[in-house]
């Protein structure tokens, strides 16, 4: 099942435009060790382990499928562990069913072909739970508790909010402890040291997530879409998972592990919501992706407890609910942005002597990447504001000159790229400057999904007739 999961995640990964978050990974990983360390002291320091790994990985290639392959491999590892954990908790059919549910959830494919660490976080969450099971249920195994501590350490190095999964471990063992609570706490405390370090780094750099707003109770209505990738797939898998405590208990499933799986699914959203209100707004759906394996495992246990025919029909329903999302995520704008189309517009509509301005300098990363890989570095107009060859050492932006009017002096056509639609032009300072210099918008294209990007061409108005 692990190989199948990797292949499903890889399928179509070369057709989907990278998102801005993925391009942030590219920007970080392309830097040398010193540059990466400098960046980590200002932004995304808690992603340093992942960025460091990707720095090494990109030494062997920077094609889209290659950049996304580690996430696909992590998805395969998570799926294999889900299959084995489901088998241990109930039966071989339960494990295989849980793995099948996980593989075909659109959310899993999305993160399985995303150049970010969320697929790793989900895999590490499963590994930590699998290691805890082995330590408790197979007490004679040498080094089992050390493996659990190591798995917790790995979890904290993938994505700091994935550590919220450990609350489920504590709750379940606190209630059905079997005398292992002290040992669990000790190993958890030891393993959480790296995660605590990265959490402290992230807190010190919380200015980087100042865009996150304070969540209201309505965020919980979005949990099905987070879990499934689409609202339909999420509602179906959640409905099946909700039946697990009732169906699996009739078939001898241990209450400890049913409670743990339920808490794994439900506690992290509640805790992230609470942290947002007590400390700082941090609630973002994708930070909860490490809970998705719990839904798959619960669904697998529930379906395995049913007779074969209704179980097969229910499983087919779960898989069918995910098909629209699977197809949608593999479109060119499946990750919400569409840099390749924007670059194609510039390459086909541009003329020699055209100038190019970015409303936000970090957008340059995506345009340069797709120009290099699709057009050999010859498809973009003149980047008249660029003031250095590489990104800034303390951010994902690029050094730029500030004298826009002087930069476009003598130019008859200027392209401007900004986030949002045409209505956002009034908020782009460089557009305002162009208008003052006598330019008018001649054409505009919207690329990507909301908010998307606008590719606009501005031409200089003819001088008024002196006569």
- pLDDT computed for residue 466 by the predictor: 43
DSSP sequence for 333-368 = TTTS--HHHHHHHHHHH--TT-EEEESSGGGHHHHH
What is residue 154's DSSP assignment?
Answer: H
- What are the Cα distances from residue 282, in Å, to 25, 163, 231, 293? 20, 14, 22, 22
Give the Cα separation of 193 and 273 in Å (integer): 23
Q: Is the peptide bond before 363 cis (omega within 30 degrees of 0)?
A: no
Contact of 155 with 110, CB cutoff 8 Å: no
Tokens of 364: 């340059």
Q: Rounded distance, CA 40 to CA 384, Å? A: 29
Quick one: pLDDT at residue 462?
Answer: 74
Please give the chain's pLDDT, 467 residues, in tens.
889 999 999 999 999 999 999 999 999 999 999 999 999 999 999 999 999 999 999 999 999 999 999 999 999 999 999 999 999 998 899 999 999 999 999 999 999 999 999 999 999 999 999 999 999 988 777 889 999 999 999 999 999 999 999 999 999 998 887 788 999 999 999 999 999 999 999 988 888 888 899 999 999 999 999 999 999 999 999 999 999 988 876 555 678 899 999 999 999 999 999 999 999 999 999 999 999 999 999 999 999 988 889 889 989 998 999 999 999 999 999 999 999 999 999 999 999 999 999 999 999 999 999 999 999 989 999 999 999 888 999 999 999 999 999 999 999 999 999 999 988 998 999 999 999 999 999 999 999 998 899 999 999 987 555 44
* Spatial separation of the C-alpha atoms in residues 430 and 407, rounded to whole Å: 11
In degrees rounded to 5, what are phi and psi of residue 200?
Answer: -65, -40
Complete edge-to-edge strand list for the sheet that includes strand 453-460: 382-383, 355-358, 413-419, 453-460, 439-447
Q: Of how many residues is the chain composed? A: 467
Q: Virtual CA dihedral for 141, 146, 149, 150, nearest 10 degrees?
A: -100
**Cβ count within 10 A of residue 96:** 17
DSSP-assigned letters across all residues of 217-282:
GGGGGGHHHHHHSSHHHHHHHHHHHHTHHHHGGGGT--HHHHHHHHHHHHHHHHHHHHHHHHT---
How far apart (Å, rounded) are the C-alpha atoms in residues 82 and 79?
Answer: 5
Question: What CA–CA distance (Å, rounded) separates 389 from 71?
Answer: 29
Tell me the two tokens of residue 71.
């996430």
CA distance to 380, 407, 416, 425, 443, per residue, from 430 (Å): 18, 11, 8, 9, 17
- Paired with 445 in beta bridges are 455
Q: Which residues make Cβ contacts (< 8 Å) with residue 320, sequence separation at least 6?
A: none
Indicate the helix (H) or strand (E) that contains 290.
Answer: none
d(CA 242, CA 232): 15
Helix (H) or strand (E) holding 304: helix 292-304
* Residue that is written with structure tokens 């405590």 in the block: 245
């Amino acid at each position: 099942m692990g190989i199948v999961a990797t292949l499903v995640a890889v399928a179509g990964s070369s057709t989907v435009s990278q998102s801005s978050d993925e391009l942030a990974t590219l920007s970080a990983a392309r830097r040398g060790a010193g540059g990466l360390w400098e960046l980590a002291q200002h932004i995304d320091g808690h992603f340093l382990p992942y960025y460091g790994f990707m720095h090494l990985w990109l030494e062997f290639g920077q094609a889209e499928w290659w950049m996304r392959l580690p996430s696909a491999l992590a998805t395969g590892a998570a799926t294999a562990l889900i299959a084995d954990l489901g088998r241990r908790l109930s039966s071989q059919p339960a494990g295989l069913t849980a793995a099948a549910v996980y593989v075909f959830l659109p959310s899993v494919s999305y993160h399985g072909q995303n150049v970010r660490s969320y697929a790793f976080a989900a895999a590490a969450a499963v590994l930590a739970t699998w290691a805890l099971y082995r330590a408790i249920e197979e007490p004679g195994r040498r080094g089992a508790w050390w493996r659990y501590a190591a798995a917790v350490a790995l979890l904290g190095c993938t994505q700091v909010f994935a550590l919220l999964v450990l609350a489920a471990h504590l709750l379940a063992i606190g209630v059905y402890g079997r005398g292992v609570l002290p040992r669990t706490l000790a190993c958890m405390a030891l393993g959480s040291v790296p995660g605590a370090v990265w959490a402290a780094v992230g807190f010190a750099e919380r200015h980087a997530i100042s865009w996150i707003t304070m969540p209201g109770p309505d965020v919980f209505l979005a949990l099905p879409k987070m879990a499934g990738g689409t609202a339909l797939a999420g509602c179906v898998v959640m409905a099946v998972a909700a039946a697990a405590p009732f169906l699996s208990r009739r078939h001898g499933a241990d209450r400890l592990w049913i409670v743990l799986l339920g808490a794994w699914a439900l506690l992290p959203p509640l805790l992230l919501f609470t942290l947002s209100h007590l400390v700082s707004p941090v609630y973002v759906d994708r930070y909860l992706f490490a809970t998705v394996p719990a839904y798959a495992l619960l669904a697998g246990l529930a379906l395995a407890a049913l007779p074969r025919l209704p179980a097969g029909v229910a499983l087919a329903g779960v898989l069918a609910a995910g098909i629209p999302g699977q197809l949608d995520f593999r479109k060119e704008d499946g990750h919400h942005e569409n840099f390749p189309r924007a670059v194609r517009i510039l390459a086909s509509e541009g003329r020699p002597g055209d100038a190019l301005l970015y409303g936000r300098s970090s957008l340059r990363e995506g345009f340069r990447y797709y120009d290099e890989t699709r057009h050999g570095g010859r498809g973009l107009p003149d980047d008249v504001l660029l003031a250095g060859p590489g990104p800034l050492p303390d951010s994902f932006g690029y050094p730029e000159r500030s004298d826009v009017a002087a930069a476009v002096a003598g130019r008859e056509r200027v392209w401007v790229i900004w986030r949002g639609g045409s209505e956002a032009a009034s908020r782009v300072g460089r557009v305002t400057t162009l208008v003052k210099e006598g330019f008018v918008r001649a054409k505009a294209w919207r690329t990507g999904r909301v908010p998307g990007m606008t590719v606009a061409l501005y031409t200089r108005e003819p001088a008024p007739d002196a006569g």
